[in-house]
Structure 1
Amino acid sequence: MAQQIKTAVEEMIAPFLEQEGFELVDIEYVKEGSNWFLRVFVDKEGGIDIDDCSRISEFLSEKLDEKDPIPTAYFLEVSSPGAERPLKKPHDFVRAIGKNVFITTYEPIGGAKEFEGKLLEYKEEHGVVVQVLNKKTEIPADKIASARMAILF
């Protein structure tokens, strides 16, 4: 059900976002405690501000009320993906080349399932190459469980 809701929301909002110059980064529909949350993460060149989030939220609220694809009560949140934005689409990975990332895998690669370092290469069909300290590690695309930008302290 969550995937169907995410797909329906994406179909509702994608044309508006594209027209307004925004990028849809991710959609989450999750239960936390007894509450459901529909979270829409949006970005644009130069970043988004509270007015952008408000405008997108108003547009989406109207569409959701009109089409009513979600059978339960929920909270709608529209926000920036933040500094540690997820890497999901090919262009997310391409844009992250040369930057610090955090990647988890479904199974160990060289004895590890977590890799934090600089993204050196990305090939959609093959995967990524990450430099962790002075060691380069190839991670096949089908082994990547999650990936996001990382801030090193």
Structure 2
Amino acid sequence: MDLPSRLEALITPSLEAMGYELVRVQMQGNQRPTLQVMADRVDGAAMSIEDCTEISRALSALLDVEDPIAGAYTLEVSSPGLDRPLTRPKDFVRWAGHEVKLETAQPIEGRKRFRGRLDGLDAEGRVVLTLDEGGAVALPLAEVRGAKLVLTDDLIRAAIKDQEGLRTDD
């Protein structure tokens, strides 16, 4: 099992117990590597600095005990933000209708980079896009190397609407 997969398996149960969901775990850099952990609140509320601090403290203790990373590294905990990476099948369903940039591991239809409106997943589990230049494409999810939402006015409006829907007037 590769390091990111081992870290994901180690981190996920603690995050879930705290009411969070892992979005992505990634190691970056060589000299002084950074372990980047992106998380969301399970209740759908916006992530706060306090949430990131709580996660950082818990994961620091867990990683100190388990010691899965050789040598020194920096732990960075963050929310995915509005222009979030899409990493799980449910992300491609949840954010359908919004603009995305996507890159595949291997060329598909002669290219690796795609941009357009996300139409979700089809019956075979392929990511369906309506391309900016016209036409549509269905990309195997297993071939998607990276995907993220593009910050648009529509995305901002949707985020505001989501947050307003979570507020309660007591």
- TM-score normalised by length of structure 1: 0.84
Query: CA distance change for structure 1 residues 109 and 68 in 2, over 3 Å: closer, same or farther?
Result: closer
Give RMSD over aligned pairs.
Answer: 2.2
Secondary structure of the residue aligned to 1:82 is: coil
How many residues of Structure 1 are paired with residues of Structure 2 in the alignment? 150
Which aligned segments of 4 or more residues in structure 1 are displaced greater than 6 angstroms? Answer: none
Quick one: which amino acid aligns to residue 115 of structure 2? E
Q: Which residue of 2 aligns with 1:145?
A: 145
**Aligned in 2, Cα 1:46/1:74: closer, same or farther, shift over 3 Å?**
same
Contact 2:126/2:138, CA 8 A, preserved across alignment? yes
Q: 1:75 to 1:95 in 2, by over 3 A?
A: same
Q: Is the 8 A contact 1:107 1:113 kept in 2?
A: yes
| Structure 2 residue aligned with 1:49 | 48
Q: Give the TM-score normalised by structure 2.
A: 0.77
Structure 2 Cα separation of the partners of residues 61 and 122 of structure 1: 36
- What pairs up with 1:94-113 in 2 under 5 angstroms? 94-113=93-112
CA distance, structure 2, for counterparts of residue 56 and residue 127 of structure 1:
33
- Matched with 1:21 is 19
Could you give the per-residue CA deviations for residues 14-62 of structure 1, whole angstroms, max 9, x where no partner exists?
2222122211001111225x21111111112122111011111111111
Evaluate the alpha carbon distance shift between residue 82 and residue 124 of structure 1 in structure 2; reply closer, same or farther with a 3 A threshold: farther
Give 2:35's aligned residue.
Answer: 38
Call closer, same or farther: CA 1:122–1:37 in 2, change over 3 Å.
Answer: same
- Corresponding residue of 1:118: 117
Cα deviations by residue, 1:68-124 (Å, 9 ceiling, x for unpaired): 222210011111112222212111111121111111123444443221111113037
Give the CA deviation at 1:149: 1.4
Paired with 1:97 and 1:140, the residues of 2 have a C-alpha distance of 16
Residues 116 and 129, structure 2, Cα contact 8 Å, conserved in 1: yes
85-94 vs 103-112, greater mean Cα deviation: 103-112
Q: Which amino acid is 2:117 matched to?
A: K
**Structure 2 unaligned residues grouped into runs of 5+:** 154-170
Residue ranges of structure 1 left out of the alignment (5+ in a row): none
Deviation at 1:126, TM superposition (A): 4.0
| Alpha-carbon distance in 1 for matches of 2:148, 2:10 | 26
Contact map agreement 2:11 2:59 (CA 8 A) in 1: yes
Question: Which secondary structure state, in structure 2, belongs to the residue aligned with residue 86 of structure 1?
Answer: coil
